A and B are shown apart, each in its own frame.
Chain A
């Protein structure tokens, strides 16, 4: 396990409220190896962001980790004191959020925000920290860094701001970067730039990345492995190539099918009928069964665990016992 930068086992995130307890992340397990990019896809509400927040210790009450383990480099971090967790944040785990405009404090110059982060986590102070900040801005491709370091966030375009955000997240050279929908709020043309920036930087520094998105194209370009989340659980996890070209879980199949291809002659867009259940109304057994074409007897009562199938894992009874289930998948 010490080969993995991040190791998550049976993570369960709950939200108690007056009607009962909502389970938003249910028994999620995965690993990320050093320098690897793991993509996490799923619809809004599938529990991707909550998983990330739980890992970095920023769950907002009443949300809490009810069960499971999170290990960074082999050591448990989910039960650390708030102060110990704070020291890990930024220094060993960095995080990038979705909206670059609201991620930066509008009243502070970006240089000030950078220098502050650098001073807290490294030994660079004062003028040294400033030089380091300029170097970081150069690394993320911000033009005229020396002058623009004293500008305010709103003086930058969206793409530039996100570069600043990336610089801030990587300022202390963390081992793991969690990127929660880093390109969703950006123009398409800028998205590509940010993605390639992330790729380059992480490759250069050997930073592992947990890339959360609902954009399959980004995953295809950037990730090594990917996990598909549905209703708080991981339903399939494997290499990007495998999951995209040969999806196993009916949900993944539906997802890949619904992506229109340039070379096809579609009249209508393919959809998965129905919608993902909300945390309070997840059915028993497999959460996907009401929308699944291949649902059969065990699906209603038994919840499928992740089962190995080749190099991937999939949580579906189609791959459970019967070896002859080869033709059931697509």
Chain B
């Protein structure tokens, strides 16, 4: 068990190192730190001096080490656009993105799983056909289009929900949350649905196909042959076996949601990290880009690790193997 965890941890570190390398390369070689900091009039001598000061003439390995060290202390330099420490910018906007992502993920799971189970168990009912069609539309609509359509319907035409911003937020420590205020709750509905729709459709289809597969297995057949009632067969055995692989994929989807938040934040002007990153891409603001990259990579890697460990806990076959590994 320990060996398994260690192996996964090592893998995670490896991925982070590769990502750090990419982020560093971006930071150091694509963007030019000096040229961004000074004006056109600065003399060549000044620039050379700055270069030396910033340690840009040191061996690459040393610079890389310095980069990692700084990153470990959440020091990502100064943004080209805003002339502020990247660290501060990201910290400000981190809660908004995470809240949005979590609410969306919850939405997609709470709706996606039951719908998937229903359509697997009642394959021929009209409701299943309807749900399947809706899900197909769900994965065919790009996130931004869903957002625009929802805004058009609920903000422009009906005027029920706001179309931009986060509403009022409450600060708790360094975190700000919009979930405790009425306007905050109203503001998060449309973005969360937009962000979660695609995922919900995906999860629904996944649960459905997994469950159909499971319902075809010998052990389900044997369970029926033993005369177990449908309720136990479907929700005791089949559901449990379905959710195990689904759970891992759903976990990975959380990472996807965080990335897709970029789009949703753009459409709804949601003040999160994604919007920050997009502006950075549009303006070639390398420090923000590389910081976002590292941060998001870290989040993904942790999610992957947690999901892998979760799998071990839930699936006894792997647990026993891992123990003996």
Contacts and interface: CB of A to CB of B under 8 A. Distances in A.
Direct contact between A and B in the complex (CB less than 8 angstroms)? yes
Interface of A: 56, 58, 86-91, 94-95, 97, 99, 102-108, 116-117, 120-121, 152, 154-155, 165, 168-169, 171-172
B228 interface: yes
A103 to B, nearest CB: 5
Name the interface size band of chain B.
20 to 34
A137 B8 CA distance: 39
Contacts of A90: 225-228
Contacts of B222: 95, 97, 103-104, 165, 168
Contact of B221 (A91, A97, A116): A97
A91 B227 contact: yes
A85 B168 CA distance: 60
Contacts of B315: 106-107
Interface in B233-281: 236-237, 240-241, 244
B73 interface: no
B45 interface: no
A105 B226 CA distance: 13
B227 A169 contact: no
Q: Binding site of B, secondary structure by majority: helix, strand, loop or mixed?
A: helix
A152 B323 CA distance: 14
B232 A102 contact: no
A95 B317 CA distance: 26
Contacts of A154: 316-317, 320
A89 B316 contact: no
Contacts of A121: 227
B152 interface: no
Contact of B224 (A89, A152, A171): A89
A171 B316 CA distance: 25
B223 interface: yes
A105 B225 contact: no
B227 A152 contact: no
Given A90-B226, A105-B237, A107-B315, 18 more contacts: A86-B227, A86-B230, A89-B226, A90-B227, A90-B228, A99-B218, A103-B218, A106-B241, A106-B315, A107-B244, A117-B226, A117-B228, A121-B227, A152-B316, A152-B317, A165-B222, A168-B222, A168-B226
A104 B219 CA distance: 5
Interface of B: 217-219, 221-230, 232, 236-237, 240-241, 244, 314-317, 320
Given A99-B218, A120-B228, A120-B229, A105 B316 contact: no
A155 B320 contact: yes
B226 A106 contact: no
A87 B223 CA distance: 13
A58 B229 contact: no
A102 B219 contact: yes
A58 B227 CA distance: 11
